[in-house]
Amino acid sequence: MEEFIAKLRDDHSDFNKGSLDDRIKATDPMLLFQKWYKEAFERNCAEPHAMVISTVNSEMQPSSRTVYMKELLEEGIVFYTNYESQKGQEILSNPKVSVLFYWDCLERQIRINGIAEKAPDELADDYFASRPRESQLGAWASAQSQAIKDRDALDKAFQEAEVRFEGKSVPRPPFWGGFLIRPSYFEFWQGRPNRLHDRICFHRVNEDEWDVHRKNP
């Protein structure tokens, strides 16, 4: 067997960067999420805003991919994408999503389940306007998730967008915008020695009430 495959079994390193006191059960999970994100940001964790989002299609097949959290609002988190992409279409027909953040630098993982909805147009307009022009043109050029003949066809679509908007500002495409995920479940995971990790879970009961418990690792 090749060494890099055989080595898969050899990683027995322990987790020892922190612990979760049961007292955090009294915290609002959205505030705790913000606190953890702030810590990941301040510790210069790599891409702390990168999150894996899973969607489920009409045949109950889940799909996962990485996106960037771009807004952290009181009511939830927002990412931007093409509404006609696979994820966009899946969310529009089944808004139940699952999100995962993993911050190796802190040995922390956060699972979030929630309901996604289109974010307000003004928010998307504002964010789109702040993007580099090339990214704006890229949004027009890419029929995200659709099959395309070859790389040349994609580069050609980009050039066409350049010509189309030459000398003008690039408007937000009607098929591109944000999804706001309103959390209904959070799990905060902190790695601990001997695989006895801490897991504190919050299930939403109503607007401002959460059912909280610790889970076995």
Ligand X SMILES: Cc1cc2nc3c(=O)[nH]c(=O)nc-3n(C[C@H](O)[C@H](O)[C@H](O)COP(=O)(O)O)c2cc1C
By CB under 6 A, name the binding residues for ligand X.
Answer: 47, 50, 63, 65-68, 79-81, 85-87, 144-145
Phi-psi region of 192 (alpha: psi -120 to 50; beta: other; left: phi over 0): beta
CB atoms < 10 A from the CB of 171, how many? 12
Beta-ladder partners of 188:
110, 200
- Which listed residue (131, 195, 199, 204) is catalytic? 195
Q: Could you tell me where the beta strands, DSSP code E, fall in the chain? A: 50-56, 62-68, 71-72, 77-82, 96-103, 108-118, 176-190, 198-206, 209-214
DSSP state, residue 27: S
Residue 106 CB, shortest distance to ligand X, in Å, is: 18
By beta-carbon proximity to ligand X, the closer residue of 26 and 46 is 46
The answer to whether residue 195 is catalytic is yes
Tokens (6 digits) for 94: 């089944």
Tokens (6 digits) for 19: 């612990």
Cα separation, 214 vs 165, in Å, equals 54
Residue 136 CB, shortest distance to ligand X, in Å, is: 14
By beta-carbon proximity to ligand X, the closer residue of 68 and 155 is 68
Task: Name the strand (E) or helix (H) holding 122.
Answer: helix 121-130
By beta-carbon proximity to ligand X, the closer residue of 98 and 145 is 145
Residue 54 CB, shortest distance to ligand X, in Å, is: 10
Using DSSP bridges, classify how beta strands 77-82 and 176-190 pair: parallel, antiparallel or unpaired.
antiparallel
By beta-carbon proximity to ligand X, the closer residue of 90 and 198 is 90
By beta-carbon proximity to ligand X, the closer residue of 1 and 147 is 147
CB atoms < 10 A from the CB of 78, how many? 22
Residue 81 CB, shortest distance to ligand X, in Å, is: 3
Residue 143 CB, shortest distance to ligand X, in Å, is: 11
Give me the active site residues, please: 195
